[in-house]
A and B are shown apart, each in its own frame.
With several copies, the nearest count.
Chain A
Amino acid sequence: MKITGSALKKIAGLAGPFVGLILVITIFSFMPEVSDRFLNLANIKSVATQSVIVALCALGMTLIIVSGGIDLSAASNLALSCVLVAYAINLGMPPLLAALVGVAAGGTVGLLNGFLITRLRLVPFIVTLGMMGIARGLAKWVAKNQKIDAPLSWLNELMVRSPRPSWLLVSPGIWLMILFSLVMAVLLRKTVFGRHALAIGSNELTARLCGVRTDRVKVAVYTISGLLCGLAGVMEFSRLTVGDPTVAMGLELDIIAAVVIGGGSLSGGEGSILGTLVGVFIMAFLRNGCTMMGWPNYFQEIIIGAIIIAAVTLDRLRHRQE
């Protein structure tokens, strides 16, 4: 009993934050039905592409959670941006401009979140819950309760499994995800802004005592996160080729879960970009593996639920060992 416990801890310690991910991948790699296909390059590419959207939102969510907030409107924000891109294209805008409209819309929703939270001194949960309804409602309004069809353009090439200039190797969406992960990691760990966000999440009063302009930082945090959601919306449009106001319903919980699985603490002050990406991939590989196994959805739901708990438990074991 003792021995297995400590052995487990050792393994957990070695694997670092990747332990949950490795566990998931290992399990599926040993399933005879899919073992040859699961770790195959094409499949990994496809999982990576599927992760882009959640990952982009989760990057922003990490920043928010680290600073002690939460954003329930992320998924609705994404849907709004997705619809607006299609709308803008139909207005005759060039695709690049349309994409910018989508990103900007996301940023605006984020800005509004930050503004309401700091000005009205409301808890982020409530503000973003309200905004979740508002953004979703706006998306449906713009789309007149339907999805918006838009002519195909290069925008829709961003999320293909096999990218057009083949030297790209993976889809532009994946490159964007990598790029923004790096940017956000640097922002969080290497800039004054990131340090201030962390300090606010850790103890807002202390941050204020130390001259951190907490309100400004918070507004910036929500705006950045909003921009990333907007970008995720563009990617969603790219994937769907239509502007769909009902897309990503309930995805906010997946996004938050990814951050928390990756070690983020909802009481603020803790979280890392690497951890979040691991969280995103744990969930993506789980879904992918379960689908490939052809397991029924309820089984998949049960397994994913159990693995979320298990992954975090392992992470805690590792921490306790330190």
Chain B
Amino acid sequence: RPGGQQSAGSGARTYKLAVIPKGTTHEFWKAVHAGAVKAGQELGVEIFWKGPQKEDDRAQQITVVEDFISRRVDGIVLAPLDDRALMRPVDEAMRDGIPVVIMDSNLQGDNYISFVATDNYQGGVLAARRLAEVLGGKGKIFLIRYLEGSASTTFREQGFLETITKDYPGIEFLVKDQYAGTTTESAYQLTENLLSRYPQVEGIFAPNESSTFGALRALQHYGLAGKVKLVGFDSSAKLIQALENNEIQGLVLQDPMKMGYLAVKVLLDHIQGRPVEKRIDTGVTVATPENMNQPEIRNLLEPDFARYVR
């Protein structure tokens, strides 16, 4: 293990760790980035932050992993875009003595150091309960999906779908298999077109930030914001504002900064020979207009990452 040897030999060397998100332009990943940088600063390691050039492109993420193996970084934190496709590059890294910590989404097999993530299915379940609560247990709703084959959002959608079907027979899905695509604009158009068709809708769930925001914009556009209940995932300034205005009734929050921080920390622990846990849960919470001003929720809504990333 070259990394291990060197660190044993010269304590002065700073470790170079690669952190590979699924994409770089969502608020969520910004917070993960901040967490990773924070850990980097506190623990004295250098962080390379690098996602696939096209958001959500599995093949390109494999390339990024390979390129970092070529670069021979000391360790990799990876949010795999696919639980299978990224297996081999991760195996290769491990074989080459580069330890890998998985975050956010799962990877099949267990050839990695540790898995640091939110329980996405549980997030979907919480969202379903919240939407059912604001609808009073009955109504007609949309499930807007994110992207074909995206694991974490698929879990959320599944958690949502199964909870509603199982626990809330009064709630009826008008739409449950339309995909919003990766951009806000595509989610916006989809929701608009759906609203055109089903003006009777009463609630919407969207499984990530871009689709939540797109749905919100469409509701605002139709003057339905606040009337149609919206439960989303993740946060951003506009979403928080909407939450304040009661245009959004619930946001399922993860703790991305904690995720980034823990992933780096666990990786470094491993490199330096400390034992680590195989599975680390970073927790989910629902922010509502009512509880959003509680400090711990505030902290999740607006993680203070300005200090770490510009």
Q: Which residues of A contact B (CB under 8 A)?
A: 34, 37, 40, 42-43, 46, 49-50, 53, 140, 143-147, 149, 156, 159-162, 236, 239-242, 244-250, 287-288, 291-294, 296-297, 300-301
Contact = CB atoms under 8 A, between A and B. Distances in A.
Given A240-B84, A300-B53, A247 B59 contact: yes
B193 A239 contact: no
Contacts of A292: 67-68, 70-71, 193-194, 196-197
A160 B88 contact: yes
B190 interface: yes
Contacts of B149: 143, 145-147, 244-246
A293 B68 CA distance: 9
Given A147-B149, A247-B58, A292-B196, 5 more contacts: A149-B238, A236-B185, A245-B25, A296-B49, A296-B178
B177 interface: yes
A236 B214 CA distance: 12
B59 A146 contact: no
Contacts of B197: 34, 37, 291-294
A288 B192 CA distance: 9
Contacts of B58: 240, 244, 246-247
Contacts of A297: 24, 50-51, 53, 148, 178-179
Interface of B: 18, 24-25, 27, 30, 48-51, 53-59, 62-64, 66-72, 82, 84-85, 87-88, 92, 147-149, 154, 175, 177-179, 182-185, 188-190, 192-194, 196-197, 213, 217, 221-223, 236-238, 310
A293 to B, nearest CB: 8
Contacts, number: 189
A112 B81 CA distance: 33
Nearest to A86: B84
A145 B153 CA distance: 13
20 contacts: A37-B70, A37-B72, A37-B197, A50-B189, A145-B177, A146-B149, A147-B85, A147-B184, A147-B236, A149-B236, A240-B85, A240-B184, A240-B188, A241-B88, A247-B57, A288-B67, A291-B189, A293-B197, A296-B50, A296-B177
Contacts of B72: 37
